[in-house]
Structure 1
Amino acid sequence: MSNDTIHIALGVDNNYFPYAGILITSILLNSPENNIIFHIALNEILSDDNRKKCSKFNNIYKNAQIKIYDLSEQIDKLPNLSIYTDKRFNKSILLRLLLPKMLDTAIKKIIYIDADMLCINNIETLWNMDIAANIIGACPYKEKNGQEQIKRLGLKNNQYFNSGMMIMNLRAWQEKNITEIIVECYSKFYEFFLLPDQDAINIVLQGNIQKLSFKFNRMLAANNRLLAAYERDDILLHFVNEAKPWLDGNTAAIDELYKKYMHQSLWNDIKFIEPDTAELMILAGENYEQKKDYKKAAHYYKKAAKQLFTENLQDNND
């Protein structure tokens, strides 16, 4: 077993805590020889069910521990998200800006990961990355999307980075008061930010971010066969936008992969969520058709048709 304890941070609300639990389980199953401490920040008081699961987790795993940080008071002091921000987000996404300041100064570095990710290989490969000359290491957006964000924010460097996975040089972060600087940037310009925490991080840390391989943050869509591919040596899969792995009707491969880790976790009782837009319903129908489950495919095609009819009727009335 490695003597070097790996520190991993997450920021969630109570609704996302079970998904964080499944992610944590996938990390442990792929890194059995490592000691790992998971630092989980919340923007609200931990619910009874999540607290019980957390306590059970800490009793079961001898090489891992979950530590909880209630940052609701600090989050409440920050401005609400911009009206331009995607409605899927809430202020819990700002937890990644605040948590580094709360951590013990003896911790030299930490990996931050979003809860909508899954680990499929040993996390130690990421932990051993040397980013000493920079404040964080992260994966950039691909060319077209990246250039759009660079132009929107007026960035001087030619990279726009995803904040869903960051390895942080915690000592440099704390010494340079990065939390305070980024929070000030967010508080000043939040009304113009589409991706609040991510925009602020890219503005403040431009020139101090080490570019990492996409295998550490492979962005994909769980429900779209054209956008669900990943490489065998990838470490972390990141399910972006609305296509989450706990949504019903994903591709057969992603569904099988996610359920493999879910069933081995303490959070094996989660309920999969039904798609709520016509686009998601159509993709679910296509995936069930591929699985030869024609009854479920027809269910989602019918729901999609009904929703599209309702939306078009409303548009005509307007």
Structure 2
Amino acid sequence: MMSPPPPSKEKQGFEFWPLSPTSSSGKHKESWPLFREAPAFRNGNQCVSVHRRKSDHAEDVCDSSSVHIAMTLDVAYLRGSMAAVFSILKHTGCPENVIFHFLVSDRDAELSALIYSTFPFLRFKVYHFDEALVKSRISASVRLALEHPLNYVRSYLADILEPCVKRVIYLDSDLIVVDDIVKLWGRRLGSHAIGAPEYCHANLTKYFTASFWNNEGLAKIFDGKRPCYFNTGVMVMDLVKWREQNYRATIEEWMESQKETRIYELGSLPPFLLVFAGDVEPIEHRWNQHGLGGDNLEGRCRSLHPGPVSLLHWSGKGKPWIRLDARKPCPVDNLWAPYDLLLPAASSYSS
């Protein structure tokens, strides 16, 4: 669906978007946190000019001269999403040349209005993701949050986004970008459908169960490859190749295999490893300093990896906004805090 028109003039620049107390199912719905309006980020003279449709705030998502970023929006991570968008706009030289594609599974119009009120000049479109597409295929994970259907959106981007969108950067909501996103966008993928930082020192065997490795028919998927771990929270994706090869169907097949025999424990990541490990265009590690949220069970503090940093990613259980609110932040959480758009009097959501 297209983004709805902007709120009427009397509501433009508002700090809070009131919501109905119940959903269509009759369940009580909490109100959103309160966010301050972000500054207006404008293009410099060196940027390619963009043509915006101002009448209804709908964007020309077929703009091939723009950077395309896909993210999910949900209540638990909304505060992180706002910080992520803010960080991207703040550090890019051509902020008006960035188009955001937001995937939501509930309260689409309300979330779109909230985005517009926080970023009045943002180029974006909201798409509805039908959780029924994936719900029956999701198996239990080591952490409940990893079972949310929106975690599987990245497998469906090529189907949901318009065919004219040929390339996209997928980003999780628990990260900030401290470099110009154009540098990541410009990475060539060669013959590969995705590009991501690889971590070849990681022990790939721990991402799959003994049932997987003891089954020769399954384990042979890695024969002839040099499979490396990569984090799916930061990926450059060639959607043309994705559609041609129908990778969505291949990932779904692995999820069906998981329902028959438990071959992995960790949510949406293992199917991506099964399909793409050993077939990824490597990108510098600076573009995913991941694991800052600790492990998936305890979420203990971790420090930055050695080397330069372009993107900080709080993958794992610990989220910076939760630890900051609890007054028990990890040192690295203070790097996230300047991008927090939550108004001081507002309460945050826990994941």
- Per the normalisation by structure 2, the TM-score is 0.67
CA contact (8 A) 2:291 2:315 kept: yes
Whether 2:281 is the aligned partner of 1:200: answer no
Report the CA distance between 1:159 and its aligned residue. Answer: 1.0
Distance in structure 1 (CA, Å) of the matches to 2:270 and 2:66: 31
Query: 1:246 corresponds to which residue?
Result: 321
Question: Of the candidates 188, 193, 206, which is equivalent to residue 148 of structure 1?
Answer: 206
- State the SS of the aligned residue for 1:246: helix
Structure 1's 180 and 2: CA in aligned 2 closer, same or farther, altered over 3 A?
farther
Bigger relative contact order, structure 1 or 2 (CA pairs below 8 A, ≥6 apart)? 2
Report the CA distance between 1:177 and its aligned residue. Answer: 1.4
Report the CA distance between 1:115 and its aligned residue. Answer: 0.6
Distance in structure 1 (CA, Å) of the matches to 2:198 and 2:345: 35
State the one-letter code of the partner of 1:240.
S
Distance in structure 2 (CA, Å) of the matches to 1:132 and 1:269: 49
Q: Deviations over 1:216-254 (max 9, x none)?
A: 1111325889722256742211112112111221134x3
- State the SS of the aligned residue for 2:156: helix
CA contact (8 A) 1:150 1:160 kept: no
CA contact (8 A) 1:96 1:112 kept: yes
Query: 1:221 corresponds to which residue?
Result: 292
CA contact (8 A) 1:222 1:251 kept: no
Question: Of the candidates 154, 161, 173, which is equivalent to residue 242 of structure 2?
Answer: 173
State the one-letter code of the partner of 2:244.
E
Q: Deviations over 1:139-168 (max 9, x none)?
A: 234624435337865334331221111100
Query: 1:287 corresponds to which residue?
Result: none
State the one-letter code of the partner of 1:36.
V
Structure 2 residue runs of 5 or longer lacking an equivalent are 1-45, 49-64, 213-218
CA contact (8 A) 2:202 2:228 kept: no
State the one-letter code of the partner of 1:180.
A
CA contact (8 A) 2:91 2:177 kept: yes
State the one-letter code of the partner of 1:250.
P
Distance in structure 2 (CA, Å) of the matches to 1:268 and 1:69: 30
Structure 1's 52 and 232: CA in aligned 2 closer, same or farther, altered over 3 A?
farther
Distance in structure 2 (CA, Å) of the matches to 1:109 and 1:269: 39
Structure 1's 65 and 230: CA in aligned 2 closer, same or farther, altered over 3 A?
farther
- Per the normalisation by structure 1, the TM-score is 0.73
Q: In percent, how many aligned pairs have the same letter?
A: 22
Query: 2:333 corresponds to which residue?
Result: 255
Q: Deviations over 1:118-153 (max 9, x none)?
A: 111111111111003101011234624435337865
Structure 1's 8 and 244: CA in aligned 2 closer, same or farther, altered over 3 A?
same
Distance in structure 2 (CA, Å) of the matches to 1:41 and 1:56: 18
State the one-letter code of the partner of 2:249.
E
- State the SS of the aligned residue for 1:82: coil
Query: 1:160 corresponds to which residue?
Result: 229
Question: Of the candidates 82, 85, 89, which is equivalent to residue 139 of structure 2?
Answer: 82
Structure 1 runs (4+) greater than 6 angstroms displaced:
223-226, 266-269
Question: Of the candidates 115, 121, 144, which is equivalent to residue 54 of structure 1?
Answer: 115
By percentage of residues, which structure has more strand? 1
Question: Which piece of structure 1 moves more, 20-29 or 100-109?
Answer: 100-109
For the aligned residues, what is the CA RMSD?
2.9
CA contact (8 A) 2:198 2:228 kept: yes
